[in-house]
Structure 1
Amino acid sequence: MKLKALLFLSFSHLVLIAQNDKELLWEEHFNGDSLSSLRWNYETGDGCPDLCGWGNNERQIYNKDYVTVKDGFLMITADKVGDTYYSGKINTRGKAEFRYGTIEIRAKVPKGKGLWPALWMLGSNIAEAGWPGAGEIDIMEYVGRQPDTVHTSLHTPESHGNTVNTKTTVVPGLARDFHTYGVSWNSERIIFFIDSREVYTFSPEPKNEDTYPFKHPFYFLINMAVGGNFGGPEVDDSIFPQQFIVDYIKVYR
């Protein structure tokens, strides 16, 4: 028992040292009363004519009015006005892009069938490489038709769309409170975490552009879709409006 206790204390001490030694590269706490235009871009519309439904048969129209900042929180609201669904989507393309490191995002998902909030990243070379050539890291996806379930996925040229590079994790009472979602990422592997607990590791062999297009900078995207191929064909209109809330984002070397 004493040996186990010593080992546990030693391990805890090492973990604490490792955490304290992390170099904070970038952080976003959503201070003030509006989104920083120096850090974020709005994405608007329905994706047409090039990518109607944003490639997923999503129902919402993105509008910047559905993205707000208040009391240190980012709030993306999904609502139905008449026969039209509205929501918000933002990204850091060209303003905050990172290659490798540890990323932590604290967020609270909403409840309701048909909602599809996500915290994710795309390769900054997407204009040249296209999708899925640029790669996609889905730090957290949640669909209201599967309560208490978090999806963590990667899309590559070898496997994308209904990708095999994915893991679902059940978190009881997920929508009741904030949780921390993150990845630890380098040239060899990507590890996904929920509330500091490792839930999925991706490290394919071989690592080439088809299997591991994750060796260049990526940027953040935050959005909440309505319906769609993944969100589900059924939307419960009685739930609106609903908010997807993000507390902070931190990026460590």
Structure 2
Amino acid sequence: MLKYSFILLTFILVGCKSKSFKVVDDYKYIQNVDVKKEDWKIVWQDNFENTSLDTTKWTKIPKNNADWGNYMTNDSKCFDISDGKLFLKGIVNTDTISDSRPFLTGGIYTKGKFAFQYGKIEIHAKLESAQGAWPAIWMLSQDNKYGKYPRNGEIDIMEHLNYDDMIYQTTHSYYTLELKQKTNPPYYKTSKFNKEAFNTFGLEWFPDKLVFTLNGEETFTYPRVKNVDASQWPYDQPFYLLIDQQLEGAWVGKVNPKDLPVNMVIDWVKVYQ
């Protein structure tokens, strides 16, 4: 009996040791801080192999008052899944009686359905170009740990403007936006990419740094800095994912309707911990 008890205890201890994360509230995946990068495994993914959006994972982003959210909609014309890919569309609105906005855009997020803290995320996608197009892959905090935006920070894994042949990878926080601390450390970087092809946009998230990647290669690191205002590092809490084909805004400029429709094509999303 003692022998079998020892075997059972060993099995339990090994099982606990190999667990790289815990799940809180059934959807927040919190990675253990001592997990090594080489031990990461996929904990959440979507390959868009169904004919409709998996609503256990995603919600269509509604219209909102933010600069990027003016044309967000749940209109089916802005969403399509075919050939194992999700198409998020920016279109001219042809029914301004039902909705007076001139343009409509599709986007999805995992808010309230999946969030994670630490680990790696990769999104394999292709970005079409248009004047006024602003596709983005980014993350926001699931909970308001530090107060209202921008206290909880923002992680922009990828933003693309117009017809550019580069992407922006950025962090925003109270530290960068309100305290204007944009060089200690630098808060963003641009990287060239092949806009005619599918690319893998990614982030490796550690307790002391954010490592942005493009096609598996490191492009930019935002470190946690000592002896500065505590608002520099709000990235110690679960974040959810947003993927959206935005149109217009103060940064990107006005849309040229002749360039529409424009698509953001998502092949797959994978999260590792």
| TM-score band, normalised by shorter chain | 0.7 to 0.9
Secondary structure of the residue that 2:250 maps to in structure 1? helix
- Aligned equivalent of 1:136, options 134, 141, 154: 154
- Aligned equivalent of 2:79, options 67, 90, 112: 67
Mapping of 1:92-241 within 5 angstroms? 92-126=110-144, 129-145=147-163, 147-160=164-177, 164=182, 165-171=187-193, 174-206=194-226, 209-232=230-253, 234-241=254-261
Q: Name the TM-score, length of structure 1 as normaliser.
A: 0.82
- C-alpha distance in 1, partners of 2:177/2:155? 11
Secondary structure of the residue that 1:159 maps to in structure 2? helix
1:22-63 alpha-carbon deviations (Å, 9 max, x no partner): 311111111211111111111222x2xxx2xx2x27652423
State the partner residue of 1:7.
none
Structure 2 CA distance for partners of 1:229 and 1:159, relative to 1, 3 Å: same
Secondary structure of the residue that 2:175 maps to in structure 1? coil
The structure whose Rg is larger is: 2
- Gaps (5+ residues) in structure 2? 1-35, 95-100
Which segment is superposed worse, 116-125 or 83-92? 83-92
1:158-206 alpha-carbon deviations (Å, 9 max, x no partner): 11399831111122xx321100010110110000000111110000312
State the shift of 1:20 in Å. 7.1
Letter matched to residue 32 of structure 1: N
State the shift of 1:128 in Å. 7.0
- Aligned equivalent of 2:265, options 237, 245, 252: 245
**CA contact 1:63–1:86 (8 Å) conserved in 2:** no
- C-alpha distance in 1, partners of 2:181/2:246? 19
Secondary structure of the residue that 2:268 maps to in structure 1? strand
Secondary structure of the residue that 1:198 maps to in structure 2? strand
- C-alpha distance in 2, partners of 1:222/1:180? 13
1:70-104 alpha-carbon deviations (Å, 9 max, x no partner): 22111101101247100112110111110000111
- Gaps (5+ residues) in structure 1? 1-17
State the partner residue of 1:12.
none
Structure 2 CA distance for partners of 1:61 and 1:163, relative to 1, 3 Å: farther
State the partner residue of 2:88.
76
**CA contact 2:145–2:237 (8 Å) conserved in 1:** no
State the partner residue of 2:40.
22
Structure 2 CA distance for partners of 1:124 and 1:57, relative to 1, 3 Å: closer
Confirm whether residue 44 of structure 1 aligns to residue 59 of structure 2.
no
**CA contact 2:72–2:107 (8 Å) conserved in 1:** no
Identity of aligned residues (%): 28
- Aligned equivalent of 2:52, options 28, 34, 51: 34
**CA contact 2:40–2:119 (8 Å) conserved in 1:** no
**CA contact 1:42–1:64 (8 Å) conserved in 2:** no
Matched positions, count: 225
Letter matched to residue 34 of structure 1: S
Higher percent of residues as helix: 1
**CA contact 2:87–2:264 (8 Å) conserved in 1:** yes
- C-alpha distance in 2, partners of 1:163/1:79? 37
- C-alpha distance in 1, partners of 2:158/2:177? 16
